Amino acid sequence: MARSSVPVDLEVMRILDETHAWTSIAYQAAHTGGALILDGASLLDGDGALDPARIFEVVERRIAAVPDLRKKMVRSPLGLTAPVWVPDADFDVRRHVLIRDEILELSPRTLAHIVGTDGAPLPQDRPVWDVTFTRLTTGEVAMGMRLHHVMGDAKWAFETLTLWASDSAASSAAEGASIQTLGRPPRTRALIPVLVAREWLREQPSFRAGWHEYWRKPFDRRVRRMLGRNVRPIKEWLIRRRGLTARHLPPGRVSFVEIPMAEATAAASTHGGSITELLVAAAMRAVDDDDRGLDVALPVSRREKGDRTVRNHVSMLRVHGEPGVPVTELVSAVRKQIRRYVARIEADPQPVGRTIGYATYVPWVEDERFLLGAQLRRFIVIPAVDARDELNLFALSYDGTLYITAKGRAELDIDGAVARVRDTLRGEVTAAVSG
């Protein structure tokens, strides 16, 4: 098919998505990823080493299931519009796959290296994801996958993984069925504002409707946003000049635990709540208490299931816990605040305590899955967080196990905090931890 007959494929980034790449600090902080532990047999050659040809082949096959992974972010000239997603005309799967020779033990000390989050930020001139394959001392293979938050929130990422994975080894290594057809990028970046404006006009039912839609947002806000995009070089100069990266992105540590879902569900039931509610309470009881109480941010997804047109659609609920309160009472307070927020019920202003970070739980699938022709045995996620937080928790459930990852500042006792979270989720802690 001639290039001219292929339509331009262009998706405007939403403002919420753009904030994750507003500055180099925001961009670096918004890296997320996970370690997918696979049965290594199908990915190894006859000598027991990773088989690059096999790995490149199966990854490229599965890419067809998620065309968004072949799109890159391009900024609009003069900041006239938000950045856009366009197909990467130079896409090469080998630029996104790293195969290591070393053999590592899977532990809290090696997790960041296995995932790749201890390396340089993802390049912005190509799709912002990569995968790293590492042999483990157990004979398994770790597939570390980095994904930038600008591509989508946790719900979007897990739906993407669902498209990659399958319920059998054979189908998980087969050609993926495309969910959409990729077009071509604009011939030049200068055309982006014109194409965005044309597409926006096509979406308006009438001139009058378009007029009201455009002026629905204050014009001065649009101007400030455009100016903000144009002063990015000055912002980056100030970041370097004042050493702001080290201040906003201090060294961090991660730790993780695994809990049988049956135990976690039973513990949540004992306290009269859900896994999410108990997880938030566990975060509050994993750190030193405060006479003001503790606050935990809880991401609440607003996306409809299966809607991949909205990449990030999350609002943050600040959940407050009073000091010295037993876990059961904390769970009850958390549940009440969540229900009022979801139902959009006006509540009395909550006291403001010491904010420690955020906690989130994402249920995935209840039975085993296969990825790249191999059985997926374990799944550990490193969340995208504010590196200055005390403690952030990301929990996911897969195949009867609850995997919880904790991340916080390097000088804090993250291993101890995650151990206390584990005890709470297993029903072994009922009283508050005194500060």
Shortest CA distance to 109 belongs to which of 386, 415, 422, 425? 415
Identity (one letter) of the amino acid at 188? Answer: T
The answer to whether 160 and 320 are in contact (CB under 8 A) is no
Q: Taking the domains of the chain in order of start, what are their residue ranges?
A: 204-247, 250-425
In tens digits, what is the pLDDT along the chain, a chain of 435 residues?
Answer: 455 678 888 999 888 888 888 899 999 999 999 999 999 888 999 888 999 999 999 898 888 878 889 999 999 998 889 999 999 999 999 999 999 999 999 999 999 999 999 889 999 999 999 999 999 999 999 999 999 988 888 888 888 888 888 888 777 777 665 545 788 899 999 999 999 888 888 888 877 777 777 778 787 888 888 888 989 899 999 999 999 999 999 999 999 999 999 999 999 999 999 999 999 999 999 999 999 999 999 988 766 665 566 676 677 889 999 999 999 999 999 999 998 888 776 666 778 999 999 999 999 988 999 988 899 999 999 988 888 999 999 999 999 999 999 999 999 999 999 999 999 999 875 444 433
Give the per-residue SS3 of the chain: CCHHHCCECCEECCHHHHHCCCCHHHHHHCEEEEEEEECHHHHECCCCCECHHHHHHHHHHHHCCCHHHHEEEECCHHHCCCCEEEECCCCCHHHCEEEEEEEECCCCCCHHHHHCCCCCCCCCCCCCEEEEEEEECCCCEEEEEEEEHHHCCHHHHHHHHHHHCECCHHHHCCCCCCCCCCCECCCCHHHHHHHHHHHHHHHCCCHHHHHHHHCCCCHHHHHHHHHHHHCHHHHHHHHHHHCHHHHHCCCEEEEEEEEEHHHHHHHHHHCCCCHHHHHHHHHHCCCCCCCCCEEEEEEEECCCCCCCCCCCCEEEEEEEECCCCCHHHHHHHHHHHHHHHHCCCCCCCCCCCEEEEEEEEEEEECCCCEECCEEEEEEEEECCCCCCCCCEEEEEEECCEEEEEEEEECCCCHHHHHHHHHHHHCCCCCCCCCC
Residue 187 — φ and ψ, nearest 5°? -65, -30
- The CATH number given to 250-425 is 3.30.559.30
